[in-house]
């Protein structure tokens, strides 16, 4: 069921959005050559404890997960793009790292993701990250009262196609509120002017993720991490966005 938030409830969601944004900012600053993925997870875990927040991931066990997730971050490296389960891995020069984080604070959830290059940058990786960021901005721009859900999906897909990337629509954006995942599903490609009519109070996570040379993925033996079928690299960008009468409000905006 799709739930619309009142203006008061949207305002109540702001602290969770600011907290999620602050954690991702800290993780982006921390990610460097020689840092272990488990160190990043522990940093986020400590920030959760300090804020009195609750992880959305530790006990998360949807049908596609092999077991409860058990960590507070998704850390996807290189050919991994989504749901990366943190493990004992030390970041190397040139790694492409995507970090996805969701938490509950004061009864409300926010969800956001970013991708960074560790150490030496490869132009093709920078272009891939740029494509997800441009697509995210395009999707947010369409998150307006009176538009259709397909307008958001179309805008994201158009950017992907312009950059020459294929789009997987198995996983995408979603409703956000008291829980991390709700209706509606927001695919990363679609047809403009189709689907659900957007109304004030709808809060959704918009999350473009692209792979360099494929749209096919498989699940790693860890039961969670999704990797590209051809070992090409992936990138992921995400914000939690409230649709308001005055336009889209990015609850997880980072300074």
Q: Confirm whether pTM is higher than 0.95.
A: yes
Question: What pLDDT was estimated at residue 1?
Answer: 87
Helix (H) or strand (E) holding 89: none
Question: What pLDDT was estimated at residue 66?
Answer: 84
Angle at 211 between CA 205 and CA 213, to 5 degrees: 155
Binding residues: 83, 100, 111, 174, 181, 207, 238
Q: Which residues of 178-209 are buried (b: 16+ CB within 10 A; e: fewer)?
A: eebbbeebbbbbbebeebbebebbbbbbbbbb
Task: Look at the domain 7-250 and name its fold.
Answer: Creatine Amidinohydrolase (3.90.230)
Angle at 208 between CA 146 and CA 187, to 5 degrees: 55
Binding residues for substrate: 83, 181
Question: What pLDDT was estimated at residue 179?
Answer: 95
Predicted confidence pLDDT, tens digits, the chain (255 residues) = 899 999 999 999 999 999 999 999 999 999 999 999 999 999 999 999 999 999 999 999 988 888 999 999 999 999 999 999 999 999 999 999 999 999 999 999 999 999 999 999 999 999 999 999 999 999 999 999 999 999 999 999 999 999 999 999 999 999 999 999 999 999 999 999 999 999 999 999 999 999 999 999 999 999 999 999 999 999 999 999 999 999 999 999 997
CA distances from 110 to 17, 42, 48, 71, 224 (A): 5, 19, 13, 17, 21
Binding residues for a divalent metal cation: 100, 111, 174, 207, 238
Question: What pLDDT was estimated at residue 188?
Answer: 98
Question: What pLDDT was estimated at residue 231?
Answer: 98
């Amino acid at each position: 069921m799709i739930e619309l938030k009142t203006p008061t409830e949207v305002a109540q969601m702001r602290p969770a959005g600011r907290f999620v944004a602050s954690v991702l900012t800290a993780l982006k600053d921390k990610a460097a050559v020689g840092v272990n993925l488990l160190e990043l997870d522990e940093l986020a875990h400590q920030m959760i404890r300090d804020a009195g927040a609750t992880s959305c991931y530790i006990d998360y066990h949807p049908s596609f997960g092999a077991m409860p997730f058990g960590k507070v971050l998704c850390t996807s490296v290189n050919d991994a793009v989504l749901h990366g389960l943190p493990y004992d891995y030390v970041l190397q020069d040139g790694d492409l790292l995507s970090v996805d984080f969701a938490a509950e604070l004061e009864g409300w959830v926010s969800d956001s993701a970013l991708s960074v290059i560790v150490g030496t940058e490869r132009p093709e990786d920078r272009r891939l990250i740029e494509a997800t960021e441009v697509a995210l901005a395009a999707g947010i721009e369409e998150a307006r009262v009176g538009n259709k859900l397909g307008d958001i999906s179309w805008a994201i897909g158009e950017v992907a196609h312009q950059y020459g990337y294929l789009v997987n629509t198995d996983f995408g954006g979603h409703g956000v509120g008291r829980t991390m995942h709700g209706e509606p599903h927001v695919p990363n490609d679609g047809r403009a002017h189709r689907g659900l009519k957007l109304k004030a109070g709808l809060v959704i996570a918009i999350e473009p993720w692209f792979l360099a040379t494929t749209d096919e993925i498989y699940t790693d033996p860890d039961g969670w991490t999704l990797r590209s079928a051809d070992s090409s690299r992936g990138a992921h960008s995400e914000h939690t966005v409230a649709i308001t009468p005055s336009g889209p409000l990015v609850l997880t905006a980072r300074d």
